[in-house]
Chains A and B, each alone.
Chain A
Amino acid sequence: MSPNPQPAVEVSGLVKRYGSKTAVDGLDLVQEPGTVLALLGPNGAGKTTTVEICEGFRAADDGTVRVLGLAPGDDALRPRIGVMPQGGGGYPGIRALEMLNLVAACAAQPLDPQWLIEVLGLSGVVRTPYKRLSGGQQQRLSLACALIGRPELVFLDEPTAGMDPQARRLVWDLVGALKDDGVSVLLTTHLMDEAEALADNVVIIDQGRVVAQGTPAELTANRPDDQQLRFRARPGLDTSLLSAALPEGLKVREATRGQYVVEGLIDPQVVSTVTSWCAQQGVLAEELTVAKRSLEDVFLELTGRELRS
């Protein structure tokens, strides 16, 4: 397939207000075709609003949005995109295969609904009406509905919300397979590991604005001296001797009771120094880990640690 120069999604200066509240406040993003882009943000950050504007469900107050080069809501666009709305959607009394057959009828060359039902592990509940499916099962059916029409671009709004770990893995595998086959995927999540595992690019949004974007590696990139060695030991150890033994520039502190942190450039020599110091103290260093910044650290740094109402 020849590379398509047109972005899958292109949003610039997007603004959306609900009454006096500004949900999206001048948001820009570009998704290259065939890539997976994760919109990451806390609840109420404007993720769903942004996605629903791209899907054509809501009108923007300002800014421009182009999806596969077309305006959202364009009749020519809808057959080309797959949509998994937040929380799914189905007739309360319909059975999974009936719902999928209905959505399949809307597509020119749909996937086999029976096969997709099996892939998504819904074969055991084919007689169950939609309203009695669990949240995770409804989500899986909704994902099937998003994929059945063989779209070029899929929007997945919190695709793994309410799913058990097995189903989550399956969704991750599916997103990987979509990407391998050249499908663009735009997903929203507030799960760091999900964004880190799936996305080529992550856009962190908060209060309707982009606060950071890049590949997961870029976002979590450490400066060489920005590493941590953590270990657990008896509380209240005198760390001054350890400080003296460590190379210049490394800092030691007892972060929480019994949890020690060495910050700086961690090399094998540092690890060795720490363990021999522990041996001298007659304590065993437990849970010794060398960690780089996780996407979660980046996220909390950017969006704050306090709970949002």
Chain B
Amino acid sequence: MTTFAPGTFKPAPGRGSLARMLFVHARTEAMLTLRNGEQILLTVIIPLALLVALSLMSVIPMPEPRVGSATARIFALAIISSAFTGQAIALGFDRRYGVLKRLAASALPRWLLVAGRVCGALVVVAIQIVLLAVTALILGWKFPLAGLPWVVLLIVLGTLTFGALGVLLGGALRAEIVLALANIIWFVLLMVGGVALSVPVGFVHLLPSAALAQALETAVVQGTAPGVGPVAVLVAWGVVAGALATRTTKLT
């Protein structure tokens, strides 16, 4: 028989500090992503490999300046990889393993459950972008510093929009279906979504992938403010996806 000193479990309830909850939750989310081999492949290795390939292999059509255009588009791809595909798959399996319910049963407020995931995703995106930017510098790209605030702004906006789309997908369907769809959509967006391997034509301009790539290209290559069009497209997708996701996301 296991015995416990009297008073060991004497009730002393109370909510922890919000800042600490947010910090620990976001750190946990980021750490789990960075520890997951498939996530690293999707979010870091493939974008890095594509950045090098697009910069050096002239068989793939790419507007000049080549390295700058490639960098902007791979930034967009990296954001889609982690905020959309990675987030959707993680959420699908987190639900399967009951963690949302577990956390919802703790003193963690619901808004913090979302905020922690968003902050965790932003940390991962920041790491991706730093790695890609360093690689781009090595490949010879010179960033126009005037574009930096726009780049940061677009990265945050892109992460939020694709994060909302990722939650919309990962929060409602079964984990295996999420896994398949999130990867297929990633591949389709890469091939024909105006991100990296294609120039957007027609309605493709209205896809968030093309909008993000286009806006980032302006900021990264020219160092100027992105056009209103692409930003509006991104915001619209984000708002609609976020509003839908709050209705469709299930804890398990």
In the complex, what residues of B have CB within 8 A of residue A130's CB?
97
Complex-state Cα separation, A24 to B28, whole angstroms: 38
**A92-B94 contact in complex given A108-B12, A152-B11, C-beta closer than 8 Å:** yes
The answer, among A55, A142, A181, for a CB contact under 8 Å with B6, is A181
CB within 8 Å of B: which A84-104 residues: 85, 87-94, 98, 101-104
**Structural contact, A108 and B11, CB atoms closer than 8 A:** no
Q: Which residues of A in the span 164-205 have a Cβ within 8 Å of any Cβ on B?
A: 169-170, 173-174, 177-178, 180-183
A79 and B13 within 8 A (CB): yes
List the B side residues contacting A151 at CB < 8 Å.
Answer: 11, 13
User: Complex Cα distance A87/B105, Å?
Assistant: 14
| Chain B residues within an 8 Å CB radius of A180 | 6
Those of A121-139 within 8 Å (CB) of chain B: 130-131
B98 touches A107 (CB 8 A): no
Q: For residue B96, which residues in chain A have a CB less than 8 angstroms away from its CB?
A: 92
Tell me the bound Cα distance from A181 to B1 in angstroms.
17
Q: Choose one: A98, A105, A181; the contact of B9 (CB below 8 Å).
A: A181
List of B residues within 8 angstroms of A119 by Cβ? 2
Given A85-B105, A108-B13, A181-B8; A102-B28 close (CB under 8 Å):
yes
Given A57-B104, A147-B9, also A107-B24 (CB < 8 A): no
In contact, B108 and A93 (Cβ under 8 angstroms):
no
Give the residues in chain B near A178, CB-CB below 8 Å. 9
Contacts of B10 in A (CB 8 A): 150, 181-182
B105, A181: Cβ atoms closer than 8 Å: no
A106 touches B2 (CB 8 A): no
Residues of chain A lying within 8 A (CB to CB) of residue B153: none
Per DSSP, chain B at the interface is loop
CB of A83 within 8 Å of the partner chain:
yes
Q: State in angstroms the CA–CA spacing of A79 and B107 once bound together.
A: 5
Contact between chains at B101 and A57 (CB < 8 Å): yes
Q: Does A40 count as interface, using CB distance less than 8 angstroms?
A: no
Interface status of B14 (Cβ within 8 A of chain A): yes
A92 to B93, CA, bound (A): 7
- Check A80–B98 contact: CB distance below 8 A: no
Q: Is B36 an interface residue (CB 8 A)?
A: yes
A150 touching B11, Cβ below 8 Å: yes
Residue of A nearest to B20 (CB): A105
- Structural contact, A92 and B97, CB atoms closer than 8 A: yes
Are A94 and B32 within 8 A (Cβ)? yes
The answer to whether B223 has its CB under 8 Å from any CB of chain A is no
Q: Is A39 on the interface with B (CB-CB < 8 A)? A: no
Is A41 in contact with chain B by the CB < 8 A criterion?
A: no
Contact of A152 with B107 in the complex, beta carbons under 8 Å = no
A23-79 interface with B by 8 A CB criterion: 55, 57, 75, 78-79
Q: Decide if B102 touches A103 in the complex (CB within 8 Å).
A: yes
Least Cβ distance of B247 to chain A in Å?
A: 15
**B7 interface contact, C-beta 8 A:** yes
Q: A280 on the interface (CB 8 Å rule)?
A: no
Given the known A-B contacts A80-B13, A93-B36, are A181 and B7 also in contact in the complex, defined by CB atoms under 8 Å? yes
* Minimum C-beta distance from B223 to chain A (A): 39
B45 within 8 A of A: no
CB distance from A59 to the nearest CB of B (A): 13
Contact, CB under 8 Å: B9 / A177 = yes
Task: Judge whether A131 and B13 touch: CB under 8 Å.
Answer: no
A15 CB within 8 Å of chain B: no
Residues from chain A with a CB closer than 8 A to the CB of B63 are none
* Other 4 A-B pairs with CB < 8 A, given A106-B108, A150-B13, A182-B11: A90-B97, A107-B14, A145-B102, A170-B2
Interface residues of A (CB under 8 A from B): 55, 57, 75, 78-81, 83, 85, 87-94, 98, 101-111, 119, 130-131, 142, 145, 147, 149-152, 169-170, 173-174, 177-178, 180-183
Which positions in B face A, CB cutoff 8 Å?
1-4, 6-16, 20-21, 23-25, 28, 31-32, 35-36, 93-94, 96-109, 251
Sorted nearest first, the 3 A-B pairs with minimum C-beta distance are: A108-B14, A89-B102, A89-B98
